[in-house]
Amino acid sequence: MSPRIDRIPAGIVNLADYERLASERVDSATWAWLDGAAGDELTRRANREAWDALWLHPRVLRPLAHGHTRVHLFGREWPQPVLVAPVAYQRAVHPDGEWATAWGAAAQGAGLVLSLQASAPLESVARAMQADAGRGPLWMQLYWHPDRGWMQELLARIEAAGYEALVLTVDAPVSGVRDRERRAGAGVPPEVRSVNLVDRPRAEARGAGPAASHVFDHLALAAPGWDDVAWLASRTRLPLLLKGVLHADDARQAQAVGAAGVVVSNHGGRTLDTAVPTAWALPRIVEAVGDAMPVLVDGGIRRGTDVLKALALGARAVLVGRPIVCALACAGALGVAHALRLLRDELEAAMALCGCATLEQIDRAVLWSEEPAHEEAASHGRADAPARTHRACAR
Amino acid sequence: MSPRIDRIPAGIVNLADYERLASERVDSATWAWLDGAAGDELTRRANREAWDALWLHPRVLRPLAHGHTRVHLFGREWPQPVLVAPVAYQRAVHPDGEWATAWGAAAQGAGLVLSLQASAPLESVARAMQADAGRGPLWMQLYWHPDRGWMQELLARIEAAGYEALVLTVDAPVSGVRDRERRAGAGVPPEVRSVNLVDRPRAEARGAGPAASHVFDHLALAAPGWDDVAWLASRTRLPLLLKGVLHADDARQAQAVGAAGVVVSNHGGRTLDTAVPTAWALPRIVEAVGDAMPVLVDGGIRRGTDVLKALALGARAVLVGRPIVCALACAGALGVAHALRLLRDELEAAMALCGCATLEQIDRAVLWSEEPAHEEAASHGRADAPARTHRACAR
Amino acid sequence: MSPRIDRIPAGIVNLADYERLASERVDSATWAWLDGAAGDELTRRANREAWDALWLHPRVLRPLAHGHTRVHLFGREWPQPVLVAPVAYQRAVHPDGEWATAWGAAAQGAGLVLSLQASAPLESVARAMQADAGRGPLWMQLYWHPDRGWMQELLARIEAAGYEALVLTVDAPVSGVRDRERRAGAGVPPEVRSVNLVDRPRAEARGAGPAASHVFDHLALAAPGWDDVAWLASRTRLPLLLKGVLHADDARQAQAVGAAGVVVSNHGGRTLDTAVPTAWALPRIVEAVGDAMPVLVDGGIRRGTDVLKALALGARAVLVGRPIVCALACAGALGVAHALRLLRDELEAAMALCGCATLEQIDRAVLWSEEPAHEEAASHGRADAPARTHRACAR
Amino acid sequence: MSPRIDRIPAGIVNLADYERLASERVDSATWAWLDGAAGDELTRRANREAWDALWLHPRVLRPLAHGHTRVHLFGREWPQPVLVAPVAYQRAVHPDGEWATAWGAAAQGAGLVLSLQASAPLESVARAMQADAGRGPLWMQLYWHPDRGWMQELLARIEAAGYEALVLTVDAPVSGVRDRERRAGAGVPPEVRSVNLVDRPRAEARGAGPAASHVFDHLALAAPGWDDVAWLASRTRLPLLLKGVLHADDARQAQAVGAAGVVVSNHGGRTLDTAVPTAWALPRIVEAVGDAMPVLVDGGIRRGTDVLKALALGARAVLVGRPIVCALACAGALGVAHALRLLRDELEAAMALCGCATLEQIDRAVLWSEEPAHEEAASHGRADAPARTHRACAR
């Protein structure tokens, strides 16, 4: 199998351009599903605005030669601190679906987190990704299912296919009140299916009855608890990340039960409207567990400056979802690669203009702070700045 | 009597949809009366925005099975912490008027506060509500009238009809400067009348004269004082709530004179423009009297997340007015029930996503706080989170 | 002479309505002059927004009977704490001009501050005002002129005509960069003239030359200084107020040189754009000199709630300019009276809803404060609220 | 050579008018280049908004006669504290290009900073400027080039032509992600060239290869470091300013390596989007180095009030770029002179209304502060204000 030949559409210079173009090209029901979020979509908007509200504090005249954006995580290095976030049913927007996303991500050295609700077999997506030597990591997203036997089989299948980490989504015990999607009705076309879940047992509808609550008497019975996470961590040799953590206590507990990392996420604003934007929650979680395990983040990242800000707040890498799938919709594998390239170019420029040659040099000091840092005041009148400012950038 | 057969209009997925649809269906003069507010409607807008400005702090992986939204108040339990707020003249928007609202509220286990200015006899509305075994509470709203004899007769009538609490509106000694309504002119059609007030004595126009102030020399003479509240509380066996309290001192005084509870309200922004939004006043009043008596709140609540936030700030239940009457206008009893169901579904989802299985587990910790809580810092590094986080959610 | 018979236009329910209607009726060049302000008109807008940003904290169940809005100032009482601000050339918008404004103000018990640039003789305007027994005070606005002899004659003329106070404008040594007016070109029609200034000597253009600055070498030479204010105060038996004070030091100095009061004003945003809104400057000036002399305020007051807020911040009365002249343009004397009546009705309603029966009961406690007042905390649990809350409202 | 005869277009009363008019007259690709900025142009907008968000605190009745806007810097005095910022390729918007800008600036006593990427020979622009006796200073902007021999020749040429200072741009090691310009494609017409750079050696593309980063392996190799600045300062007799400094540590280091001043700048928002607005960075840099060397600022200055605010925050002069080039596009030399005159007239009016007769009298006290100044509280009750308030204005 090989990618269809797409062309990069004219006039695309950033990720938002891909989103705008996709809004015209994707059918309206699928678009409502892909682009929509919960409720009044305030969290979705706040995710974006929270990154924009962080101001950068540029530095000048620092050594930048032969800098790079390489990232180390879980014993592995890859070219840029970006992974494609798990998004279901990608064949609904492009016939090459998840394969194209894998090809594009691999070509640009970004990672891929495949959705459990992918519309392509997880093994074949893995092979598409693995064909590229310079590729980033390949991770698998999971939803919990109370049938542990089935989960165990799924883990075996994922490990066998070469996936390098598991990402358990924990912020969606209920599916969220997605008004735009509900109003549009249909969602993705019926021929696009969760091909990896065909053998999944149906959750029993225990507790049903006329007064039963769909949330508390049905969905909640199938939702995971901390003991399920501990069980999952104990049954796999892969690092297990929890995706959807927004509270420092939950991050600490994640570490306590054996998780290897957390992804600070509010599901792109798709589950709980007015949930806190991820850029606000991130530094608190980094403070709680950042020394002990990697913290990643997603939600509203559209610009290289956003990536820089996330790293400045302590994230080790970021996930980007909707705009990559929009690029897929517009131009297949080539679009995915192009979007990831635009993001990396922007990150490199932003790093250079903030005086950071490597990710290790990025820290809180690249963000404007109402209160100038202590060291700044302390250094008043000192002339040894070149060495000093370099240290200021190191973590 | 039985409800007309209405259908739920297509495309309605939330309460705001009912408001938008009603704005097209209700005649413009009635709409100006129903939807309008005082002055430039800044308080009306601020009521909404104040709930939106509270960010939720989701929790993950907590036990949620068999959770519920049942509420206890005044020795009674009902399925969801919502009451329909008192709104006058409901037959102006639908021929079934207050009866339909009662049927719809009862069907969804919400409470009903009937307006003294209802366009249907209070006894028959009570019977409509009482027909449903799973119904929520039935309360009666009052305006003060200086003829205590007439008030006494009214109380007897209300008690005889089976109402369970009295809600005295105290924030409207004058009727407010409702510019939109004044500009529209007519208001509700003349055939829609306050049928429960036909025998009410006219207040004397004492103090009139060419230089007399309509506010201070006429309306103020008929307005209640604290002694009137004390008299009212002493003459009924029903709990007496004061509706329209925004100041902690007034809440304390309410308790001192014998009130059983307060409703934090600014009359939906209909009396005093730029009055403080209720979401700001609520926590201060809960702090003042929340241990001693129930505090309820209304104003701008349109979403399950708003209900959750009100409870997090200490409200024991919420009142919702305009959107329910809009649902009545669009689809009669079925619309009322549908709107209340949407609200409850949203509340359940929001509770689940914040890790709360019951109302008792909802507290301030579900709201994002700029300053992380002390316990959070104190618990750094502790591994016993599941028990602890459960406690963190208990009041 | 008697007023033309105008009618109150349909649909007018507040002062902003008069402004909107006047914008359609007044010719565009005159409108640019009347409605325009300096620069980008940010101060003009901020004046309004600063009042709106103050939230009221209503009180309930207080005694309101026979309340009133009467104000005492400079040994005189009048029905409402409002004066018409000095606005030049009022015959440009209505043939009855300043006479109609005087008739309307007198009819509603508001005061009048006549502009020195009035288009009607100051004596005849005084007679129009004085014909009404229930009228408010009649004050005269002045601009400084360096010819002290001429000033002395002007003072004599003003005193002889029965004016009760002088209001010296001190915030306009230069006329401001009024972009909208400059773009419109013409301004008021040529037949509308400053009839009281026909004998004023022309200021010498000392210091002129090719490199001369119009501001510093021409206008500044005719501008008053503190010694001129002292001279003026010493040459009149009338109280002298300085209008245009925004800084506490200037207010203190005003008192030191013999002024009897200050009007906190930024000239309606017409002189210096981005000058601080008056609602911000007012409390600081009240703190500085409020115990020693009356402080008044203007700028953006359009609502009875704005008047209430100004009084809560310590103003003794307010001036309202543009909207009154807009009412004049739309409906002559009747429009002026109607606008002032609307404002007073709104003030009465706002007072009643904040539990204040008289101006003396209005203080900072009617404004919502992020920090609850000390007394509130101190009173926790006390049951004697009715007496206490009354005191809380007294200054 | 002499300027083309242009006319001042009708209806132009401020600099924003020139920008609006130019947007209609300049071809769209050139406009995207001239008017566009990096990314979503948030920094570009924030530059403007940050000045607007500073509120002025006017003073009254101060002595203003024979005030002026003369500025002293680097041993030289000129009529107004404004320089035209370096903007490349000015012949793309008007055939008289940089010559016209020089004529206009000279006529109004403003300074000129010629771009190294000028489309006219630096010697002939110098002659155009030098023809006017009342002119402001003539400075030359530089970009670093790693060929020090060529740099040395360039310095000699600049000094020989009579330039009075060097302005090294240090905030553009990469060119910025200018989305609007990239989308427009072409940029300036090909016949408009950097005529002063025809002999510049091409930077070697060291480190190139398929995986090479354009930013880190190409552009970064040609970018200057602190040692290059030190070398440059040592090789010229002219004062060397660094343009693009936003961090206090960098300003201190600039001084340490021999710079004579800094220009606080974010390149008009053209390099790094969401870089901090200059009005925020300015006071921190003034605090760090303002006693030791002059600090200038650019970015979003469009009004005389903006100039006043910049000086109040400690800038010694300001640079204005885009609007001057827009005036050039609309009306050649006459437009440039007119725009600079409008700015100066606005500055004079703003100074007068804040009670400042000279630049020396401008300090932080002209800006409204949430916390009133200590001296204000200390002076309570003192009557010697005229002398005192004058001191309050002196630095």
pLDDT tens sequence across B101-111: 999 999 999 99
Q: Are strands A111-114 and A82-84 parallel, antiparallel or unpaired?
A: parallel
Beta strands in chain A (DSSP E): 71-73, 76-78, 82-84, 111-114, 138-142, 165-169, 240-245, 261-264, 295-298, 317-320
Touching partners of A (3+ C-beta pairs < 8 Å):
B, D
Residue B378 predicted with pLDDT over 70: no
Half-sphere exposure of D14 toward its Cβ, with a 13 Å CA cutoff?
19
- Minimum mean pLDDT among A8-12, A153-157, C107-111, D255-259: which range? A8-12
Nearest-Cα residue of chain C relative to residue B178: C13
Give residues 123 to 142 of A whose Cβ lies within 8 Å of D: 134
Task: Determine, for residues B67 and A253 on separate chains, whether the beta-carbon distance falls below 8 Å.
Answer: no
Residue C385 predicted with pLDDT over 50: no
- Chain B residues in contact with A213 (beta carbon < 8 A): 67-69, 348
Residue D375 predicted with pLDDT over 50: no
Q: How far apart are CA C6 and CA D21, in angstroms?
A: 44
Q: How far apart are CA A219 and CA A172, in angstroms?
A: 10
Nearest-Cα residue of chain B relative to residue A183: B11
Is A357 in CB contact (< 8 Å) with chain D?
yes
- Provide mean pLDDT across the span B145-157: 97
Q: How confident is the model at residue B204 (pLDDT cuts 50, 70, 90)?
A: low
Task: Determine, for residues B60 and A250 on separate chains, whether the beta-carbon distance falls below 8 Å.
Answer: yes
Residue C391 predicted with pLDDT over 70: no
- Chain A residues in contact with D39 (beta carbon < 8 A): 14, 303, 305, 346
Is A173 in CB contact (< 8 Å) with chain B?
yes
- Provide mean pLDDT across the span A202-206: 66
Average pLDDT, chain D: 92
pLDDT tens sequence across A80-136: 999 999 999 999 999 999 999 999 999 999 999 999 999 999 999 999 999 999 999
pLDDT number for residue C190: 87
- Provide mean pLDDT across the span D134-155: 97
Is C305 in CB contact (< 8 Å) with chain B?
yes
pLDDT number for residue B206: 58
Nearest-Cα distance to chain C for D392, in Å, is 10
pLDDT number for residue C208: 57
pLDDT number for residue C49: 98
Q: What are chain D's domains?
A: 15-192+221-360 (3.20.20.70), 363-395 (no CATH)
- How many other CB atoms are there within 10 angstroms of residue B126's CB atom? 21
Task: Determine, for residues C242 and D383 on separate chains, whether the beta-carbon distance falls below 8 Å.
Answer: no
Q: How far apart are CA D74 and CA D239, in angstroms?
A: 8
pLDDT number for residue B158: 98
pLDDT number for residue A93: 97
Nearest-Cα residue of chain A relative to residue D242: A60
Is B9 in CB contact (< 8 Å) with chain A?
no
Residue B135 predicted with pLDDT over 70: yes
pLDDT number for residue D175: 83
Residue D218 predicted with pLDDT over 70: yes
Is position D267 annotated as part of the catalytic site? yes
Of chain A, the percentage scoring pLDDT greater than 90 comes to 86
Cβ distance D119 to D91 under 8 Å? yes
pLDDT tens sequence across A49-89: 999 999 999 999 999 999 999 999 999 999 999 999 999 99
Touching partners of C (3+ C-beta pairs < 8 Å):
B, D
- How many other CB atoms are there within 10 angstroms of residue D15's CB atom? 25
Task: Determine, for residues D353 and C256 on separate chains, whether the beta-carbon distance falls below 8 Å.
Answer: no
DSSP D371: S
Average pLDDT, chain B: 92
- Chain A residues in contact with B359 (beta carbon < 8 A): none
Integer CA distances (angstroms), C54 to B70, C286, C390, in order: 38, 17, 22
- How many other CB atoms are there within 10 angstroms of residue B77's CB atom? 11
Half-sphere exposure of B349 toward its Cβ, with a 13 Å CA cutoff?
24
Residue B381 predicted with pLDDT over 90: no
Integer CA distances (angstroms), D205 to A61, D166, D171, D217, in order: 20, 28, 21, 8
Q: Name residue C78's beta-bridge partners.
A: C71
Task: Determine, for residues A271 and B353 on separate chains, whether the beta-carbon distance falls below 8 Å.
Answer: yes
Closest partner CB to D57 (pick from C179, C217, C246): C246
Q: How confident is the model at residue A295 (pLDDT cuts 50, 70, 90)?
A: very high
In 3D, which of A117, A115, A154, A143 has the Cα closest to residue A203?
Answer: A143
Is C230 in CB contact (< 8 Å) with chain D?
no
pLDDT tens sequence across D110-125: 999 999 999 999 999 9
Task: Determine, for residues B249 and C376 on separate chains, whether the beta-carbon distance falls below 8 Å.
Answer: yes
Integer CA distances (angstroms), B342 to B17, B133, B279, B303, B348, in order: 11, 21, 22, 9, 10
Task: Determine, for residues C303 and B176 on separate chains, whether the beta-carbon distance falls below 8 Å.
Answer: no
Cβ distance D316 to D294 under 8 Å? yes
pLDDT number for residue C3: 73
DSSP A259: -
- The DSSP secondary structure of A129-196, one letter per residue, reads HHT-TT---EEEEE---S-HHHHHHHHHHHHHTT--EEEEE-S-SS----HHHHHH---S-TT---GG
Task: Determine, for residues D177 and A345 on separate chains, whether the beta-carbon distance falls below 8 Å.
Answer: yes
Beta strands in C162-233 (DSSP E): 165-169
Cβ distance B251 to B289 under 8 Å? yes
Give residues 31 to 50 of A whose Cβ lies within 8 Å of B: 39-40, 42, 46
Helix (H), strand (E) counts: chain C? 16, 10
Give residues 179 to 218 of C whose Cβ lies within 8 Å of B: none
| Widest pairwise Cα distance in chain D | 77
Q: How far apart are CA A37 and CA A273, in angstroms?
A: 8
Cβ distance B351 to B81 under 8 Å? no
Is C19 in CB contact (< 8 Å) with chain B?
no
Paired tokens of A367? 């963000």
Q: Which amino acid is at A394?
A: A
- Chain D residues in contact with A54 (beta carbon < 8 A): 274
Task: Determine, for residues B174 and C57 on separate chains, whether the beta-carbon distance falls below 8 Å.
Answer: no
Nearest-Cα distance to chain D for A51, in Å, is 9
Of chain A, the percentage scoring pLDDT greater than 70 comes to 92
Q: Are strands A138-142 and A165-169 parallel, antiparallel or unpaired?
A: parallel
Contacts of D160 (CB under 8 A, 6+ apart): D123
Q: How far apart are CA D232 and CA D257, in angstroms?
A: 10
The structure tokens 């504290």 sit at D81
Residue A374 predicted with pLDDT over 70: no
Is C171 in CB contact (< 8 Å) with chain D?
yes
Is C363 in CB contact (< 8 Å) with chain D?
no
Of D66, D94, D214, D267, the active-site residue reads D267
Task: Determine, for residues D280 and A368 on separate chains, whether the beta-carbon distance falls below 8 Å.
Answer: yes
Task: Determine, for residues C385 and B177 on separate chains, whether the beta-carbon distance falls below 8 Å.
Answer: no
- Chain B residues in contact with A277 (beta carbon < 8 A): 55
Q: Name residue D319's beta-bridge partners.
A: D83, D298
pLDDT number for residue C370: 86
pLDDT tens sequence across C4-13: 777 999 999 9
- Provide mean pLDDT across the span B1-15: 85
pTM of this structure: 0.94
Q: How far apart are CA B71 and CA B110, in angstroms?
A: 10
Is B394 in CB contact (< 8 Å) with chain C?
no
Task: Determine, for residues C249 and D376 on separate chains, whether the beta-carbon distance falls below 8 Å.
Answer: yes
Nearest-Cα distance to chain A for B52, in Å, is 7
Closest partner CB to D372 (pick from C46, C228, C284): C284
- Chain B residues in contact with C376 (beta carbon < 8 A): 248-249
Of B57, B267, B374, B380, the active-site residue reads B267
pLDDT number for residue D383: 33
3-state secondary structure of D373: coil
pLDDT tens sequence across B305-363: 999 999 999 999 999 999 999 999 999 999 999 999 999 999 999 999 999 999 999 99
Buried b (16+ CB within 10 A) or exposed e, D27-64: eebbbbbbbbbbbbbbbbebbbebbbebbbbbbbbbeb
Nearest-Cα distance to chain B for A365, in Å, is 21
3-state secondary structure of C168: strand
Task: Determine, for residues C55 and B276 on separate chains, whether the beta-carbon distance falls below 8 Å.
Answer: yes
Task: Determine, for residues A353 and D217 on separate chains, whether the beta-carbon distance falls below 8 Å.
Answer: no
Average pLDDT, chain C: 92
